[in-house]
Amino acid sequence: MCETRSWDNLIFEHKELSLDYDNLKTVNKNGKRHYLTPEGNAYPSITTCLSILTKKAIMEWRQRVGAETANKISTQAARRGTKVHLMCEDYINNELDIDKFLPNEKEMFRSIQPTIDAHINNIYAQEIALYSDYLGVAGRVDCIAE
């Protein structure tokens, strides 16, 4: 069992990551997000590419539970996921104010915190756009760290 950091003693170290570009601009093509590379290529987001894999299962679930229930569950889950994602970002940035979150959000974060503490440090980047000419895709990475 790993020991979690105290809220007063956040100690993630941040290192500089050097890329040949500042950021990638995004455009929508046929309702799908694409990233523009410095060379002028427009690559679909990896999320766009992967969304094809789950669409059928999601539609079947929506039909089973009904549109109203599906919308309610999806909205709550998305909101909760966004909050926990923000908590992880703030934590890794040594800026987490846990008191501004709801109890269920805190509980979810605390279930993730030991894994972050045990496996992540030396943060090189958060929320930056990356792309692959080889794969022809792009996307925004949550975190690059040791």
Q: What is the pTM of this model?
A: 0.76
| Residue 10 banded pLDDT, cuts 50, 70, 90 | low
What are the C-alpha distances in Å from 91 to residues 53, 63, 74, 137, 146? 32, 38, 25, 29, 16
Q: Which residues of 87-121 are buried (b: 16+ CB within 10 A; e: fewer)?
A: bbebbbeeebeeeebeeebbebbeeebeebbeeee
Q: What is the pLDDT of residues 35-53, one digit of tens each?
A: 999 999 999 999 888 887 7
pLDDT value at residue 51:
80
pLDDT value at residue 9:
57
Cα 61 from Cα 57, distance rounded (Å):
6
Cα 93 from Cα 1, distance rounded (Å):
23
Number of Cβ within 10 Å of residue 60's Cβ equals 9
Contact 110, 2 (CB under 8 A): no
Q: What is the pLDDT of residues 85-144, one digit of tens each?
A: 999 999 999 999 999 999 999 999 999 999 999 999 899 999 999 999 999 999 999 999
pLDDT value at residue 2:
42
| Residue 55 banded pLDDT, cuts 50, 70, 90 | confident
| Residue 3 banded pLDDT, cuts 50, 70, 90 | very low
**Conformational region of residue 127, where left means phi above 0, alpha means psi within -120 to 50, and beta covers everything else:** left
